[in-house]
Structure 1
Amino acid sequence: PSPPVSQAPEEEESNTEQPETEDPEDTSFSAPFLPYTTFEQRCENPRSGLDSAGRAFPDIQGEVADENNWIRAWSHELYLWYDEIIDVDPESLPTPEYFEKMKTPETTASGAPKDKFHFTLPTDEWIQISQAGVSAGYGATFAILSSSPPRQVVVAYTQPNSPATAPETNLRRGDTILEIDGVSMIDGSDLDTLNNGLFPGNGETHSFVIENLDGTQREITMTSGPITETPVQNVSILETNNGLVGYMTFNDHIATSEALLINAMEQFRDANISDLILDLRYNGGGFLDIASELGYMIAGPQAATGRVFENLQFSDKHPDFNPVTGEQLVDRPFKTTTQGFSVNPGSPLPTINLPRLFVLTGPRTCSASESLMNGLRGIDIEIIQIGNTTCGKPYGFYPFDNCGTTYFSIQFGGVNEKGFGEYSDGFSPANITQPEGVELPGCLVSDDFTRQLGDPLEGMTRAALQYREDTSCPLTTARLKPAARVGWQNLGKANADVVKFVNGKWVAQP
């Protein structure tokens, strides 16, 4: 398995009605549970050759039932709510469908699914994304503000040194997509062309008509390719009447973020900032140890050394030991030194020693990002939330590879030093008109696509600076419209109010 991850998946969308089939849950099935290692890497289509580390793949010839039996036994041993799974015959379904059955059918008090975070990725893709931040695309992440006609799709953010930011393209946050390959984005009926253009495979070329923020239009052509994400961007220091304020956009807790976060914190430390605005509005999570490092760098040694960042709680089968690593379950303090993700391990981390943190959030603020907020709250660092309700994922998992698919299935919950970890409906700014998640001080503010990220006049950043001055919020008379969905999204049919995501992918750029 990979290191522990707290990361948000996205749901797969299907625009095709499926014929009704007999539900395996309607039939009774019972069989003993063998150790999941009994069926490990017994594959219907075994891999051959070497993996990314130069090791021979361990696959041997097997059947679909072997892969399903591995999922069944693995889930029974490690899934947090193993006793809520309705058992299903491993010979009854294809493997992807079988995996979907191996989760709790229960709902939360609000009626939402108890487990919204059950997904898979091709193993080679997971390795590229988690270790190097590499995926196919243009280097532009799109926000779908309206998924049905009249549609509106804008650029949310871009990656440097990518097709999207090449001089001949120069896409910027807030640019509107009017047309793709001759099909109108606003009211075109050819959804396949629109979706293929927005979310291409590697090496695809598509043409676009773009409307700039100033209202001018232009035509561009982009060819997709491997994109290396820069997870920390827009590091800047803002001058105010009450001292210097640091700002940075942090979009992903991937391995490469470790070095970038350290560099940003060194800049903030040397400038002696008095506050930090941490923009997590598009950060879906990632490695918990990255979040722990960042929390320590923000809070500093006096507040955080030796204190719990996030303790893991597994199912009642495993009250004392981590069932994946075999380690005894003990307090997990804030990481005070580098962990070796993208810099050598063991070096002391720089700190800025702040008693509070301004966090910019949205529905894509998830998992490890929420763990950071909760961990700091546990040691009495004040979290001031500007934006919208976070996704609500106080859970995590160890990714497991079997037969070329990496499986993500909830295995543990996380609690802070005070023992709190129940934020399954997310965190919400205190002035939200309809209570949703755990309320925090701050302001309900929409995502502002008319300004660049880090611009002090951008809506969320401006609200954070204003709240810092006098604790006031922008006026709101009603609940904000649902925040834009950002990431790998398919455009829905005309009556689709909720935009779902493609192929279970969960990162904002994939």
Structure 2
Amino acid sequence: MFTRTTTPITSILGISIILLTGCGGGSGSSTNTSNNTTNGATPPDTTWQAAQFQPAETFANYCANPRTGLDPFENTAYPDKQGNVAHEKMWLRSLTHETYLWYDEVADTNPSDAENVAQYFDVLKTFQTTPSGNKKDNFHFTQSYEDYKKESQSGVSSGFGVRWSTISSTPPRVYRVAYTQDNSPAEIAGFKRGDTITAINGVSINSSDTEALLLGLNPTSGSTHTFTLAREGQSEPVVATVTAGDIALTPVQNAQTFNVNGKTVGYVQFNQFISAGQSGLISAFKQFQNAGAEALVLDMRYNGGGLVDMAAQLGYMIAGPNNTDTQTNSPKVFSQTIYNDKLSANNRNVTFRNQEINWDTLQYTDTILPSTSLNTVYILSTASTCSASELIINGLRGIDLNVVLIGTATCGKPYGFSPAPNCGQVYYTIQFTSANAKNFGAYSDGFTPVDAAGNTGELGLTSNVSGCAVNDDFAHALGDPLEGQLKAALEHIKTGNCPKVVQSRPSNYEISDYISAGVALEIPQNSANNGLLFTDIVEPK
């Protein structure tokens, strides 16, 4: 978490269910520590007493395997001190008790009952459910400090640069290419949207050897893997060998305009609310502004979230100064950030922002962002449309902008967190919920497009949003006007009605395939391969 200035930028992250690995590794107990010291510091006592909590800072940076030397990302010494696994667990326990949104729903289990740090972190959350029966907290995860810093500071992530769409994680498994990062190893190797994995390194995608499959789906940097892919309209399989590396992420893709009955319509695919995306968004909206765009299609079907203040910037670029009052000293509220009852003094409003951010100095500049100044926006969605992406939907509806949702229900995450680094890992535990200017934030089961029979007007502040239900179409490239969701949006712009569409599904699979039992193969979703975003708190002036 950056703490350089005083006006915080808040953040929300996309859906995350990953394989957890603790910094200390191995097992540990909650017995008293030895008297090892580093720089004169005496490790604190780690005796567990039910319902008795010391401040999290008491245990911070006491590590089973402390790092030494300079942090290459900050050019400062690592803060780690010699401790043990119990210190890392006790830090997580206190952090949860202090900051977790639903801290009173977390059982205070003895840390020694968990085999390792990762296992203990996995139980430090609520296990209650949403009104529909889904997990209330489906967003509890961790990633390495190095991966977090690469992505947050440089817009770089390890992998092939391919976003997989998981249609079925149990046999018969279905994993398809959603998109590739520009100039990535996957793009160069010839991966194309819609390609379906049939084997990885010669191992069938339906094999019980899930460990072998995950080596390809979640590769280590420098490792080489061979994918066998089925391609639509091609009888012979495609075999592609690709080497994982550090991938420069391209959050903004396919910015272009269409002519629909004499009306200029802007389209942009936006994948990630990260700092590297700011320049791309500015370029896209300058293009739309210069073209006199009268309508906008924002493709966020794979956008898992990210920076809240970047969402506030994008909200302005869509709605413009008149709808957001950003030309005055009292801009409208984009989102309310609401913490648990212990931290209610931190509750605050995030307003629409019309200024560019200098991400090196973490300051707002005097440069005013471009804007289409529209009263209606079309948003393309799937279950991977999450968090800060949903914040755009909710924030714009909060100022009575007409949002038309084209696609399927979004993920349902009106929550966010600050990354919490400790001992080489960064932990993400839900710390706040959000609401729009009208105090609406009840969309824990996602926003659902509902056909309003040609009426694009506001349906009211519920999780139903005026629009059209259209499945993702893997048979066409993103940005292709014949692609199902974009085609539906353009048709709606033209006629005001939802088109009659055939709901797409992967070829060569029957509906019964999706309910087959088998061993689930879950891709760790903090990887670039699956497009999941980090979250970041920065504090620009």
Q: Which residue of 2 aligns with 1:279?
A: 299
Corresponding residue to 2:83 among 48, 62, 85: 62
Corresponding residue to 1:299 among 294, 319, 326: 319
Cα distance in 2, alignment partners of residues 189 and 423 from structure 1: 37
Residue 10 (1) aligns with residue 16 (2): yes
Shift of 1:53: 1.2
CA 1:203 to 1:505, structure 2 compared with 1: closer, same or farther past 3 Å?
A: closer
Q: Which residue of 2 aligns with 1:489?
A: none
Corresponding residue to 1:105 among 127, 141, 152: 127
Residue 252 (1) aligns with residue 272 (2): yes
Residue 214 (1) aligns with residue 228 (2): no
Q: Deviations over 1:32-76 (max 9, x none)?
A: 222211111111111111111111011111122211221121111
CA contact (8 A) 2:312 2:350 kept: no
Judge which range, 248-257 or 205-214, deviates more. Answer: 205-214
> TM (normalized to structure 2)?
0.82
Q: Which residue of 1 aligns with 2:465?
A: 440
Residue 367 (1) aligns with residue 373 (2): no
Shift of 1:143: 2.2
Corresponding residue to 1:177 among 191, 197, 220: 197
Q: Which residue of 2 aligns with 1:119?
A: 141
Judge which range, 449-458 or 417-426, deviates more. Answer: 417-426
Residue 333 (1) aligns with residue 339 (2): no
Shift of 1:359: 0.3
Letter of the aligned partner of 1:407 in structure 2? Y
Residue 74 (1) aligns with residue 95 (2): yes
**Which consecutive aligned stretches of 4+ in structure 1 deviate over 6 angstroms post-superposition?**
none
Shift of 1:503: 7.0
CA contact (8 A) 1:289 1:339 kept: no
CA contact (8 A) 2:171 2:518 kept: no
Cα distance in 1, alignment partners of residues 405 and 516 from structure 2: 34
Shift of 1:179: 3.3
Cα distance in 2, alignment partners of residues 274 and 32 from structure 1: 59
Cα distance in 2, alignment partners of residues 457 and 503 from structure 1: 30
Cα distance in 2, alignment partners of residues 163 and 501 from structure 1: 19
CA 1:149 to 1:308, structure 2 compared with 1: closer, same or farther past 3 Å?
A: same
Judge which range, 29-38 or 247-256, deviates more. Answer: 29-38
Give secondary structure in 2 for the equivalent of 1:371: helix
CA 1:70 to 1:452, structure 2 compared with 1: closer, same or farther past 3 Å?
A: same
Q: Deviations over 1:350-394 (max 9, x none)?
A: 111000110000011000000111111111111100000000000
Shift of 1:11: 1.8
Give secondary structure in 2 for the equivalent of 1:96: helix
Calculate the aligned-residue CA RMSD, in Å. 2.7
CA 1:407 to 1:162, structure 2 compared with 1: closer, same or farther past 3 Å?
A: same
Letter of the aligned partner of 2:177 in structure 1? V
CA 1:165 to 1:107, structure 2 compared with 1: closer, same or farther past 3 Å?
A: closer
Judge which range, 380-389 or 28-37, deviates more. Answer: 28-37
> TM (normalized to structure 1)?
0.86
Q: Which residue of 1 aligns with 2:162?
A: 140
Q: Which residue of 2 aligns with 1:508?
A: 530
Letter of the aligned partner of 1:267 in structure 2? Q
Letter of the aligned partner of 2:357 in structure 1? Q
CA contact (8 A) 2:191 2:240 kept: no
Q: Deviations over 1:451-506 (max 9, x none)?
A: 0000000000000111112232243799x889xxxxxxxxx997248663327659
CA contact (8 A) 1:12 1:504 kept: yes
Q: Which residue of 2 aligns with 1:32?
A: 52
Give secondary structure in 2 for the equivalent of 1:153: strand
Shift of 1:337: 0.5
Residue 160 (1) aligns with residue 182 (2): yes
Q: Which residue of 2 aligns with 1:470?
A: 495
Letter of the aligned partner of 2:233 in structure 1? D
Letter of the aligned partner of 2:184 in structure 1? S
Q: How many residues align?
A: 474
CA contact (8 A) 2:161 2:529 kept: no
Q: Which residue of 2 aligns with 1:288?
A: 308
Cα distance in 1, alignment partners of residues 230 and 94 from structure 2: 53
CA contact (8 A) 2:15 2:413 kept: no
Q: Which residue of 2 aligns with 1:450?
A: 475
Cα distance in 2, alignment partners of residues 384 and 254 from structure 1: 24
Letter of the aligned partner of 1:401 in structure 2? P
Give secondary structure in 1 for the equivalent of 2:265: strand
- Taking the TM superposition and a 5 Å limit, the aligned residue runs for 1:232-243 are 232-243=252-263
Give secondary structure in 2 for the equivalent of 1:30: coil
Shift of 1:198: 3.1
Cα distance in 1, alignment partners of residues 170 and 132 from structure 2: 27
CA contact (8 A) 2:160 2:185 kept: yes
CA contact (8 A) 2:304 2:388 kept: yes
Q: Which residue of 1 aligns with 2:399?
A: 379
Letter of the aligned partner of 2:463 in structure 1? V
Cα distance in 1, alignment partners of residues 173 and 138 from structure 2: 27
Corresponding residue to 1:411 among 409, 415, 431: 431
Letter of the aligned partner of 1:132 in structure 2? S
Give secondary structure in 2 for the equivalent of 1:383: strand
CA 1:70 to 1:178, structure 2 compared with 1: closer, same or farther past 3 Å?
A: closer
